[in-house]
Amino acid sequence: MTDKKVIIRTQGLTKQYKDITAVNSLDLEIYEGEIFGLLGPNGAGKTTTILMLLGLTEPTKGIAEINGLDTIKETIKVKKTVGYLPDHVGFYEDMTGRENLRFVARLNDIKKEEIEDRIDNLLERVKLTNAADKKVGTYSRGMKQRLGIADTLMKDPKIIILDEPTLGLDPEGINDMLGLIAELARKDKRTVLISSHLLHQVQRICDRVGIFVDGELLAVGPIDTLGEKVFKDKNLTLELGISPVDDKLISLIKSINEDVKIRNEENRIFVESREDIRKELIKALSDNNYELLFLKQSGRDLDDIYSQYFCEKEGVKK
Ligand code: ATP
């Protein structure tokens, strides 16, 4: 990813509200064309970060740049580059989806002769053609969110920022929304920044995520390597089903790393270690004619990040 162009950059970005530090010295780089998930529990500072990126609130310290533009000094240019879907989209409920988009088109100075075609294409893209002439007040939350995506696409932005895009959607709505968001990057080659406290939902389409807690970025990276960074000081526990379980087995495991702690519970072997010894362990078992029935790891994976930072803090349901 390092050869990619950085399109969103913050340096020492800080927002202080009296005695609350909503965002604390945030250094972040997001690459062109990626889907980046800014993930953290409620109150972590995600929305405040987004507002600073959009130039809608001034940082107390630090800088935020979008496509090389200073978000505070060049707010108008930034607005042309970025499409923003807030967590609560405000449409006129007594107007139809099409009428709402027409209104958005005029606000964005789209040429009169282009407006209707543009609206038809966007409605088709977000699968709302059949509901185009129904009042938005009759739309489900999922339909309103999809109309929100059409709204953000009206000005054809290079970058799209979505605040909690899957919040309050049913499983089908979540899938539709995530599919649509994925297309914005994969098909259109836009850069997408998603903020969410629903790690399990959003992580499946993100190229990289940042775990954001109490205004600070704990770790950034692809989801499968994040656990190791966040829990680098925590032991890794392996649960193994091995046949046979005999005295030699324990000394075999100890021979790989003598610092490991081993527990035998009803023929399930638990091996706790600082190092990841999975490869060596599997090889040693196979070389010594033990059969490996299963191997599970815990202590440094996504579920651990999730329960430590997201469930415990907010009582979020998985
Ligand atoms: P949520 O998803 O609940 O909005 P978040 O991660 O987006 O969470 P923020 O809304 O950015 O978090 O809030 C971060 C912290 O800053 C919270 O403690 C919040 O109470 C505080 N905060 C946000 N906006 C203001 C404000 N205008 N005045 C004072 N405190 C604020």
311 is a domain residue = no
User: What pLDDT score was predicted for residue 316?
Assistant: 47
290 is a domain residue = yes
Indicate whether residue 45 lines ligand 1 (CB < 6 A): yes
Count structural domains, the chain.
2
* Percent of residues, the chain, with pLDDT higher than 90: 70
| Closest-CA residue to 52 (of 41, 38, 42) | 38
Closest atom of ligand 1 to 215 CA is 14
Tell me the CA–centroid distance for residue 48 and ligand 1, in Å.
6
How does pLDDT run across 215-258, given as a tens digit for each residue? 999 889 988 777 777 777 778 889 999 999 998 999 999 999 88
Per-residue pLDDT band at 299 (split at 50, 70, 90): low
User: What pLDDT score was predicted for residue 126?
Assistant: 95
Closest atom of ligand 1 to 45 CA is 11
Q: Which of 179, 206, 225 is the last residue of a domain?
A: 225
Strand segments (E) across 139-224 = 159-163, 191-196, 208-213, 216-221
Q: Which of 178, 199, 225 is the last residue of a domain?
A: 225
CATH number at residue 54: 3.40.50.300
Tell me the CA–centroid distance for residue 214 and ligand 1, in Å.
10
The residue whose CA is least distant from atom 24 of ligand 1 is 48
The interaxial angle of helices 141-153 and 97-107, nearest 10 deg, is 30
Which of 48, 84, 216 most suits a substitution to test ligand 1, by most atoms within 8 Å of the C-beta? 48
Instruction: Say whether pLDDT at 15 is over 70.
Output: yes
The answer to whether the CB of 68 falls within 8 A of the CB of 20 is no
Closest atom of ligand 1 to 51 CA is 11
Domain enclosing residue 135, as ranges? 6-225
252 is a domain residue = yes
